[in-house]
Chain A
Amino acid sequence: MNTAARWRLGLVVGLIVLLEIASRAAWIDPISFIPPSRMVVSAVQLLLSGQYTTDILQTLGSALLAVALAVVAGFIGGVLLFRLPRVRRVLDPLLLSYYAVPVFVLYPILIVVLGLNRWPLVGIGFLFAVVAMAVNTLNGLERVPRVLLRTARVCRLNTFDEIRLITLPSSLPFVFTGIKLTVVYAFIAVVAGEFVLSGSGFGYQIAFAYNNFDNPTMYGLMVLMLLFVSSLNALLRTAEARLYRRIRREAV
């Protein structure tokens, strides 16, 4: 463990201990902010009681479906944009300003179109994530060495084989960055959608606990959510760093 990691750990632990003391000593209102130790206890109890298992699985399912759809559609979209430069030039301003627009505002429209069920959540997760995937795929395809594409043409590979054997392996790290962002964005959008308006799911249960002044449950659910998302991110980041290292080694 290097110095920075040690400092980071110390900082996080110090902050949690400070919160614990502040809450126990009632420096901050102990009703609205319960001590971290009790949050963890509540999180474990929630997990063991199995009361929220369906909601957790529902959220995970919706997010996974959105991720799968966004990865497939984004990849195809990226390849198409790469192949059709004219279309790309027209769409460029849209791609550049897509994340500058609060796409989340479309969620109400999706509810009206698809009804109040899981599909608007999948839809908003998909919309949030798909452009990141397409842009990163495009970015990766642009970095495929020209000479490999020419070799593909010399060997008379058909389009499918060219993507499978040449394009995908050499643009893999960038495509993976796209997948990582897709997972993050889809999860954010699905939970935000559940939080604002839905009938079930993780985000809904947090909002429900808040509305019922059930703070231990609310904080317990938050701790579960934070732990899950940060471990998922850590895994994805490690895998990503490894891929980029491999590419750099091959380049040398």
Chain B
Amino acid sequence: MSTIVVAHTVRPRHTRRWLDGVVLIVVLAVLWQVLSEMLGPDAITTPWRTLERAVHIVSDPDFPASLYVTAFAFGSAFLISAIGGVCLGMLLGARKLAGDVMEPLMMGFYSIPKVTLYPVVLLAFGLGLWAKIVFGVMHGIVPITIFTMNAVRNMPPIYTRAARTYRLSPFAFARHVLLPACVPEVVAGLRIGFSLTLLGTLIGEMFASQSGIGHMLMIAMNRSETSTIMALALMLFVFATLVNLLLLAWQRHLTHST
């Protein structure tokens, strides 16, 4: 009897987490509705209208082309950031002096408003795909590098000694020792780098571009089409949150399994 009562009062943990998520979404939706009632539907579109508008935008025949442009620029930028950041981070983590030299420089670069440097990127790479990719990489590569570097530095020193005993080549050392030892932190870095790369690509498209999601945002902004802006923002938020939750789950899985 008592076991049944206990089973009823204490719900399993994952159910509670799901419930929390539902509560959060409902509260946010209600807040949004109230805000739009207060400020008028012209200033902030209601959640339902925004969803309708999002469906409308997605079914627009021009949308796949814009999506493809942005997705291609963002995908290449993120790929370059991830590979470059992990390689650079391992290099700087393994060489102590190089890491000490570069870390404050990278932190300084991380905290400047990089948007102001976008004109230089545009002048160097021309108006087009490459400027967007380079700008996305500029945003995303630093956190990935820093996370990887710190992970390599905090690695138990016995790994390095074991690798030396086996006379591993630097490449084999990176491949078989550094990378597996640092995967959880690398995933954490990728999580931060992901959003920053997305931000960089979008700002790049908003400032100077002829196509893509950022360009659509800019057009809607100039026409004061709130519903379009909100629908695009909602889609971006949902996409970024989903990817973030996936990476977070992967990160937790990795830290628990090791």
Contacts and interface: CB of A to CB of B under 8 A. Distances in A.
B68 interface: no
Contacts of B97: 3-4, 7
A33 interface: yes
Contacts of B218: 196-197
Interface residues of A, number: 53
Interface in B114-159: 114-120, 122-124
B202 interface: yes
B250 interface: no
Nearest to A10: B101
The secondary-structure label for the interface of chain A is helix
B105 interface: yes
Contact of A99 (B20, B114, B119, B195): B195
B43 interface: yes
Interface string A198-223: 00001100110110000100100110
B233 A100 contact: no
Chain B interface SS verdict (over half): helix
B202 A191 contact: no
Interface stretch (B79-87, B166-174, B176-184, B219-227): B219-227
Contact of B195 (A3, A33, A100, A234): A100
B192 A195 contact: no
**Interface magnitude class on chain B:** 35 or more
A113 B206 contact: no
Interface of B: 20-21, 23-24, 27, 39, 43-44, 97, 100-102, 104-105, 107-108, 111-120, 122-124, 191-192, 194-195, 198-199, 202-203, 206-207, 217-218, 220-221, 224, 226, 229-230, 232-233, 236-237, 240-241, 243-245, 248
29 contacts: A4-B100, A8-B104, A33-B124, A91-B24, A93-B21, A93-B245, A97-B241, A97-B245, A100-B243, A101-B240, A102-B195, A102-B202, A104-B199, A105-B229, A105-B236, A108-B217, A112-B224, A184-B111, A187-B113, A191-B113, A191-B116, A192-B203, A195-B113, A195-B115, A196-B206, A206-B116, A207-B119, A230-B112, A233-B107
